[in-house]
Structure 1
Amino acid sequence: MSPVLRKRLLAVAASVAVAGGAFIAGQRPSAEVLLAMELGAHFESSGRHIGTPYVDRLGKGQPLTVCNGITGPEVVAGRTYSPEDCHRIELPRYREAEKQAKARLRHWDTYNPWVRASFIDMVFNLGPGSLDGTTIQRLANSGDLAGACAQMPRWVYGTVAGQRTKLPGLVDRRNTTNELCAEWGRSGHFSAGLLAGGAP
């Protein structure tokens, strides 16, 4: 994981700790959604696409895209999107990714926020239902979280000029989510105790 992203994730964890009960009460996004949004911001654009939409040449169908990987009817050509606009349209997508991941992973409530964030990021990046029938889902649901985490680096392919191609950005992203899923929040790791959550 890059030092820049590590610092940003730790800053999110610190802000969650300061906010305390507001997250538990459901008045604000969960810690894992906020962490996943930070992952998305880093890997989708690092702030480069806040402003005007662009055509994602590596995306399926080369969709008009803005903010941190947002496509669809909210993206209007020629419109300028502020950071606040981006947050407003991204947050429901991340909450939906959280809902999708939680519905598909039966041990969700036992996972710590770092693990949950890694799964939310995958669902946000790959789309709803992307875990259905996968080895990741089978292993996680059998109680083998370590095995499920280890599968993440396999999800690094996109289509370039009609060919299935390993994308360097996805390699970095999946290596990061694998690290979060397998190591963060565990006893002995520097992140242990930074966020309350499930056991693993």
Structure 2
Amino acid sequence: MAISSSLRKALIGASGAGAIAIATVLVPSQEGTELTPYKDVGGVWTVCSGVTGKDVIPGKVYTKQECDKLLQKHLQVFASSVERSVKVPMSEYQEAALISFSYNVGTYAFEHSSVLRNLNAGRYQQACDGLRQWKYVNKRVVAGLVNRREVEREICLWGE
């Protein structure tokens, strides 16, 4: 799946404001936004744009403003992980793609991934291409993850 022209424009519009600003556009485009908590394909309670954890209260209906605030709060955790873990220079687009990836798979998975190892070894193309491997839930390929990884890979390669 290629990046839509509207998403491309929104991402370019966020350029210069930093990786978190770009990720703030990217993550909801990939996650969607649900104001009522639901169980995701892995059975995890989720709300807004992929928020999980103690901030999710089953049965509560969230406002758009609450969702925006939760997204900012949660993105900070993943941005910190990316900033702490990556030891080589990266563009704000590469960083945003990695924040989105980490947001989806979790900090532990990101920090122990071949994506990070390849990146830190200076193998940018291999690292970005490696995002494609992360398309499984319970050993099954999930089409939504295939699409998401293609978008993240393309944005990751914008930094090349």
Q: Would you say same fold, with TM above 0.5? A: yes
Residue number among 92, 95, 102 corresponding to 1:113 in the alignment: 92
User: Could you tell me which amino acid in structure 1 is paired with residue 108 of structure 2?
Assistant: G
Contact 1:9 1:38 in 2 (8 A): no
Q: Does 1:69 align with 2:50?
A: yes
2:67 and 2:140 mapped to 1: Cα distance? 29
Aligned to 1:188: none
SS across alignment from 2:98: helix
Matches within 5 A, 1:43-122: 43-45=30-32, 47=33, 49=34, 51-56=35-40, 58-59=41-42, 62-107=43-88, 110-122=89-101
Please, what TM-score do these two structures have when normalized by structure 2?
0.90
User: Could you tell me which amino acid in structure 2 is paired with residue 178 of structure 1?
Assistant: R
C-alpha spacing 1:12/1:141, structure 2 compared with 1 (3 Å) = closer
Deviation, structure 1 residue 90: 1.3
- Higher helix fraction: Structure 1 or Structure 2? 2
Aligned to 1:138: 117
Residue number among 29, 41, 45 corresponding to 1:42 in the alignment: 29
User: Could you tell me which amino acid in structure 2 is paired with residue 106 of structure 1?
Assistant: K
Residue number among 126, 129, 142 corresponding to 2:105 in the alignment: 126
SS across alignment from 1:53: strand
Deviation, structure 1 residue 9: 4.2
SS across alignment from 1:77: coil
Contact 1:100 1:129 in 2 (8 A): no
SS across alignment from 2:55: coil
Please, what TM-score do these two structures have when normalized by structure 1?
0.73
Contact 1:98 1:120 in 2 (8 A): yes
Which runs of no fewer than 5 residues in structure 1 stay unpaired? Answer: 18-22, 24-30, 186-199
1:104 and 1:52 mapped to 2: Cα distance? 33
Identity %: 25
SS across alignment from 1:66: strand
2:46 and 2:112 mapped to 1: Cα distance? 28
Aligned to 2:153: 178
Contact 1:53 1:76 in 2 (8 A): yes
Query: Between Structure 1 and Structure 2, whose CA radius of gyration is higher?
Result: 1
Q: Does 1:157 align with 2:156?
A: no
1:180 and 1:12 mapped to 2: Cα distance? 9
Aligned to 1:10: 9
After superposition, the C-alpha distances for 1:34-84 in whole angstroms (9 at most, x for unaligned) are 222222212212x3x1x221122x12xx12211011112211122111111
Deviation, structure 1 residue 158: 0.5
Contact 1:9 1:35 in 2 (8 A): no
Which runs of no fewer than 5 residues in structure 2 stay unpaired? Answer: none
1:65 and 1:119 mapped to 2: Cα distance? 21
User: Could you tell me which amino acid in structure 1 is paired with residue 63 of structure 2?
Assistant: S
Q: How many pairs are equivalent?
A: 159
2:99 and 2:155 mapped to 1: Cα distance? 12
Deviating runs (4+, > 2 A) in structure 1? 8-17, 131-134
